[in-house]
Structure 1
Amino acid sequence: MTAPGKRVLVWDWTIRLFHWLIVVGVATMWWTAEQGMMDWHRRVGLVLLGLLAYRLVWGTIGPGTVRLSRLVPSPGALVAYVRDLLGRRHTPHAGHNPVGSLSVIAMLLALVTQVSTGLFSVDVDGLESGPLASKVSFETGRFFAEIHETSFNVLLALIALHVVAIAAYYLVFRDNLVSPMLTGRRSEADFAPHVPTDSRASWLRVILSAALALGAVSAVWFTGN
């Protein structure tokens, strides 16, 4: 039996920090581009690069709920979950549910595309460019710039879909998905009788992931300069 009111950690503090920094970073990336603040736009891009590098490493060595290998649902699990949703049935998951996993994969791919193409992008006049644009031709830089713009529109659409899904889960199933991303915890009763293992972050692995992410940003910075 589960203790009444007892809560279990499903999202470690680093993945919660990553989530909200990505929210701020994407908004800042849009704002700096709209205002023509390209020096800050490049800085924000490097911060996002570091965050994504951390997420990829952490998705390999972090606790179970953040593992990238768990993001790919089996066809059977996906079909069963969609069938339950259509029947207005919902079972909370420790981590992302099968549909949510596909959403996260899509957003991560869009973010990786957005940041990586920005590194090589060149504007029409050739006056503003990404930190690695000097490593490619002007034509290639313009090609990356076009993908950079398109991928941002795709990212905005995915974010809108993400927000709508969160609202739908709350309104239809009374499942608040925002709270666990703030506190990291959910009630054990949500998972009874199969309570997940507590997803605490190992400091050694956090430091290793952060060091590798910083190394990736430093490599881009020094290569571009």
Structure 2
Amino acid sequence: MASVYVWDKVVRLTHWTVAVLFLSNFFLLEEGSELHEWAGYLILVAIGVRLVWGMMTASHARLSAFKPSVPKAIAHIREVFREKRDDHVGHNPAGAVMIWVMWSLIILTALSGWSMEEKVFGNKDLMEEIHEFLANLTMIAVTLHVGAVVLMTKVTHKPYLQGMLPRRRADK
């Protein structure tokens, strides 16, 4: 099996923090509960840490290393299915588009939830509909993301998930 880039600790920690908290909020925590709200705030903090880290690091996690481009993503997907390989280190062009889409949707979901509870726009029912729509759209993006990781692993034989898993001492 092909080797895979191993993401640094900050990337792995923020990734799994956002993943666990978002999925908990979506499936487990009661809508509007204090735990639901705090999970949303912690998600924003984790994404904020990741974005700041992305401006500071010199690794492939640097934000400028994966600028989103839909035409490049489409070309990349065609190339992967034609060549059956992915030679990118870090985010490939399709992954770059997906991560920016997910970050944007998650931030908008959290902000819409906050504005609903704080009555920022005065129409709680409308904000609740927007919040639920954004949460569902985010779940669609998350499902596509996970599906793409599985599909890309099958097509390229590159173990993408391993790069996001915690490292044992022997693996370092």
Separation (CA, whole Å) in 1 of partners of 2:74 and 2:34: 46
Q: Which amino acid aligns with 2:29?
A: T
Change (3 A) 1:76 1:112: closer
Change (3 A) 1:79 1:48: closer
Change (3 A) 1:114 1:74: closer
Q: Which amino acid aligns with 1:147?
A: I
Pairing of 1:37-186 with structure 2 (within 5 A): 38-73=33-68, 77-78=72-73, 80-121=75-116, 129=117, 133-134=118-119, 136-139=120-123, 141-183=124-166
**SS of structure 2 residue aligned to 1:49:** helix
Correspondence for 1:19 = 15
Structure 1 runs, 4 residues or longer, greater than 6 Å off: none
**C-alpha deviation, 1:61, in angstroms:** 1.1
TM-score when normalising by structure 2: 0.83
Q: CA RMSD in A?
A: 2.5
Alignment identity in percent? 27
Q: Which amino acid aligns with 1:138?
A: G
Structure 1 stretches lacking a partner, 5+ long: 1-6, 122-128, 185-225
The more displaced of 70-79 and 141-150 is 70-79
Q: Which amino acid aligns with 1:25?
A: L
Q: Tell which structure's C-alpha radius of gyration is larger.
A: 1
Change (3 A) 1:182 1:41: same
Change (3 A) 1:97 1:9: closer
Task: Report how many residues are paired.
Answer: 165
Correspondence for 1:32 = 29
| Cα deviations by residue, 1:104-152 (Å, 9 ceiling, x for unpaired) | 111111111111111111xxxxxxx2xxx15x2432x433322211011
